[in-house]
């Protein structure tokens, strides 16, 4: 098990202070905390977050496992979320999804061997009017084609984005 660094613990403590001031920001704060720890919440991370926020570990675990934006499994630096709803697939999302998986040599739900990308399917990401669309972390890309998504992924691999 990887132990959290003292810097990460300090950053979690700072984010917990934001939550204590504004409890409605829980999701935002937890997403930021997750970005500090391999895009996932380990048992140790949940314990540290619980200590600083005062939220019981069991409630944090329930929250984290309920929402698809959170994970208890290690994920890549970049999380690619592809909508799996019908409207996007009518507009060509299936071809874009296949291009992503082929380009990265992974199946949906997998992380690339280099730990750079995790590919996930999710429900609607709210961009039906410009589908097919994907989210890579918090950045959205719309009106995609297989060629466009391969170019975007290549830029991430090269560190351009």
pLDDT per position as a tens digit, 4-13:
899 999 999 9
**Does residue 117 lie within any of the structural domains?**
yes
Residue 28, domain extent: 6-66
pLDDT band at 161 (very low <50, low <70, confident <90, very high): confident
CATH of the domain at 138: 3.40.30.10
pLDDT at 84: 81
One domain, residues 58 and 88: no
0.85 exceeded by pTM: no
One domain, residues 142 and 114: yes
pLDDT at 2: 64
Position 117 pLDDT exceeds 80: yes
From 66, 88, 103, the end of a domain falls on 66
What integer is the mean pLDDT of 44-66? 94
Q: Phi, psi (5° rounding) for residue 43?
A: -55, -45
One domain, residues 90 and 134: yes
**Does residue 1 lie within any of the structural domains?**
no
One domain, residues 110 and 43: no
From 34, 66, 98, the end of a domain falls on 66
One domain, residues 23 and 84: no
One domain, residues 138 and 112: yes
* Domains contained in the chain, number: 2
pLDDT band at 112 (very low <50, low <70, confident <90, very high): very high
One domain, residues 82 and 152: yes
Secondary structure in 3-state letters for 98-152? HHHHHHHCCCCCCECCCCCEEEEEECCCCCHHHCCCEEECCEEECCCCHHHHHHH
Q: What is the CA radius of gyration of the chain?
A: 17
**Does residue 71 lie within any of the structural domains?**
no
**CA 36 to CA 21: how far, in whole Å?**
21
Instruction: Report pLDDT digits (tens) over 14-24.
Output: 999 999 888 99
Position 1 pLDDT exceeds 60: no
Position 28 pLDDT exceeds 80: yes
């Amino acid at each position: 098990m990887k132990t959290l660094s003292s810097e990460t613990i300090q950053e979690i403590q700072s984010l917990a202070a934001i939550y204590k001031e504004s409890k409605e920001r829980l999701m935002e704060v937890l997403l930021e905390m997750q970005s500090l720890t391999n895009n996932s919440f380990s048992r140790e991370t949940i314990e540290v977050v619980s200590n600083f926020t005062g939220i019981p570990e069991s409630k944090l675990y329930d929250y984290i496992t309920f929402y698809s934006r959170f994970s208890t499994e290690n994920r890549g630096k970049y999380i690619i979320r592809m909508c799996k709803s019908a409207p996007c697939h009518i507009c060509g999302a299936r071809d874009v999804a296949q291009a992503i998986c082929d380009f990265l040599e992974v199946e949906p739900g997998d992380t690339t061997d280099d730990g750079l990308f995790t590919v996930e399917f999710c429900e609607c990401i709210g961009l039906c009017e410009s589908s097919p669309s994907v989210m890579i972390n918090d950045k959205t890309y719309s009106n995609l084609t297989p060629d466009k998504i391969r170019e975007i992924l290549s830029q991430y691999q090269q560190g351009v984005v």
